[in-house]
Amino acid sequence: EAVRSPVTFTLPGIERRRGGKPQPPPSPNERLHHMCRARVTKRWRKSARMETWAATNGLGPALIANNSRLNIALTLVSVGEFDGDNLDAALKSVRDGICDDLWRNCRDHDADRSTGKMCGNRHDTDPRLAWRFQQERGPVALVRIEVTW
């Protein structure tokens, strides 16, 4: 299958406090109250799911059903710098949000065939997905996502 031109979109940083400046996803080393961390993580995940659906015109589940190989590059743009393992962990909510869109309406991946029950796991470790994590310095926090198939 020929490689199509990549789909690129961005997720703007999320304010943690009213009137605060947009922040990147929280690092595991950041000391946040557990409820604040959960709220911010949920917002990043939902944003990634919605933007993936909009950018791919809802093609995600069809690409997975056709066993297409997806190359997904996540680039964190931030004023600070993350080390390798913290970069992966900080982008986990974005990664999960993308998988939420890709496995929307899933009935073949870990589904119970007798009941037709939707799969509960959105597998970011699926062999059809190749992830690449990068970071850049920039004045404003955002995550740039590029999907090719």
pTM metric for this prediction: 0.84
For residue 92, pLDDT beyond 70: yes
| Residue with more model confidence, 51 or 59 | 51
Alpha-carbon distances of 26 from 37, 71, 80, 86, rounded to whole Å: 7, 24, 12, 9
For residue 122, pLDDT beyond 60: no
For residue 56, pLDDT beyond 90: no
Q: Residue 135 in contact with residue 87, Cβ under 8 Å?
A: yes
Cα–Cα distance for residue pair 89/72, rounded to 1 Å = 16
For residue 1, pLDDT beyond 60: no
